[in-house]
Structures are given as structure tokens and as C-alpha cells.
Amino acid sequence: MTYGKGLPGLAAATCLTLTTGFLLVAFYAPTDVDQGLIQKIFYLHVPLAIVTLGGFILGGILAIAYLRTGERVWDVRSYVAIHLSLVLGVAVLLTGAIWAKASWGVWWEWKEPTLVSFLIVFLLYATYQPLRFSIDDPERQSRYAAVFAITAGAFVPLNFLAVRLAEPLIHPRVFGAADSGMEGPMWLTFFVCLAGMTLLFMALWKYEMTSKNAAQQLRALRRRLADEAEARERRSAAPATTTS
């Protein structure tokens, strides 16, 4: 079974879409009236954040599939989704901090519910790997990791609700608000960037799945080779012992 099928095409589509997106950001999207040039980090930060949260929730959904079917491949899929989201999450926090510094003058803003919620979610998922890898039995490891992934996936929306209620809103509300100041070209650029980020996540996910699968096949082949070599040795050694 090959997992690498379609990976080159996906990678090419990712490069193309992301490059187009960034070119649009640089030359097409108008500069924001209030925030100036720094507002352009929005086209990196927000798609990244959406894809990261989507990846966390995807990890939970794949974990449900694992618990229903009991097939290990679903667990690996869930693991890879969460693992990738954690890596992208670091980028979200960094770009968020840069944007906060530029537009509010501080690196961290507690009054900003989206930023705070994201940090809490990130801290929770950061415990996924310590939990997972401190369980020795592989089958139990998958099962416990799946339970964690489902619980944490449900936690994401609840956490956003609680934190948002607790804090006054100062985040630029770009979605849904009538006065968000987003013009047509901005929306277009944003959606191209979001599509590029989603493709990037999919490509990386497929890439890691391919690598994991290849490593597993390699291990199986090595084991078979070792078994065969041992059998051959036994066969060739057998007559020698009987003649002597």
C-alpha cells in the first residue's frame, strides 16, 4: 500500500496557492487604513490559526474513528494531525505576539480573548505527547491518546466561549462584524491564503503519514529478512552437524 500517491501534486498545488496568496498580499491587497503595513500579517496569522484549530478538532474526529474501528492507522492519522497542529500552533502564537506588539504596543494582551483561548488550547495539547509516550503498551497508548484527543477536541469550542465571555472584546473582529473594514480584495486575498494554508497542512500531513508508513514497511521487511537469513543459516548448518 502506498501513501505517497498524489503527494507531488499536492505539494505543487500548495506551493502554487501559497505563492499566489503571498503575491496577492504584497501587491494586490490594499494597505489597511488604521493599522498600515503590519495588518498584512493578518493574512498569515489568521489562516494559520484556523488551520491549527481545525487540525486539533480533526485529531479528535480521527480518534473517534479509531475507537470505533480499532484500526491502528486511524490512531496514527489522529496523532499526525495533532502533532502538526502543535508545530503550527507555535507559529500562530509567535505571529500573534508580533501583531499584538505592532498594533497594541505589547507582546501579550490578556484582554484579548482569542489570543488567551488559543494559548490555553495550546497548553492543553502540549500535554498530548507526554501523556502518550509515558504509556508503554502500544495498544493502550493508542486508546488513551484517542480518549484525550476526543476530550480535548470538545474542549476547544467551550474554552473559546468561556474566555470570550470573560474579557471585553478588543480583537479586530473581522468576521461577521459590519464595520470590520474588510474590502473585497482583502477577502479574496484572505481566502487564497486560507486555501494555501489548508493545502500546506494536508501536504505535510500526507508527507508524515507516508514517512511513517515507509518506516513501518521498512521495519517489517527488515524483520522478514532477518528471519529468512536465520532460517537459511539453520538449513545450511543442519547437514554439517549431522555429518561430523
Q: What is the DSSP string of the chain?
A: --S-TTHHHHHHHHHHHHHHHHHIIIIISPPBTTTBGGGGGHHHHHHHHHHHHHHHHHHHHHHHHHHHH--HHHHHHHHHHHHHHHHHHHHHHHHHHHHHHHHHSSS--TT-HHHHHHHHHHHHHTTHHHHHHT--SHHHHHHHHHHHHHHHHHHHHHHHHHHHHHS---S---SS-TTS---HHHHHHHHHHHHHHHHHHHHHHHHHHHHHHHHHHHHHHHHHHHHHHHHHHHHHHHHHHHH-
Asked if 163 interacts with another protein (CB under 8 A), we say yes
Least distance CB 128 / another protein (angstroms): 9
Asked if 74 interacts with another protein (CB under 8 A), we say no
Least distance CB 79 / another protein (angstroms): 16
Asked if 162 interacts with another protein (CB under 8 A), we say yes
Asked if 69 interacts with another protein (CB under 8 A), we say no
Asked if 120 interacts with another protein (CB under 8 A), we say yes
Q: Which is nearer to another protein, 159 or 210 (CB)?
A: 159
Asked if 127 interacts with another protein (CB under 8 A), we say yes
Q: Which is nearer to another protein, 12 or 123 (CB)?
A: 123
The residues of the shown chain that bind another protein, judged by CB under 8 A, are 67, 120-121, 123-124, 127, 130-131, 134-136, 139-140, 143-144, 146-148, 150-152, 154-155, 158-159, 161-163, 165-166
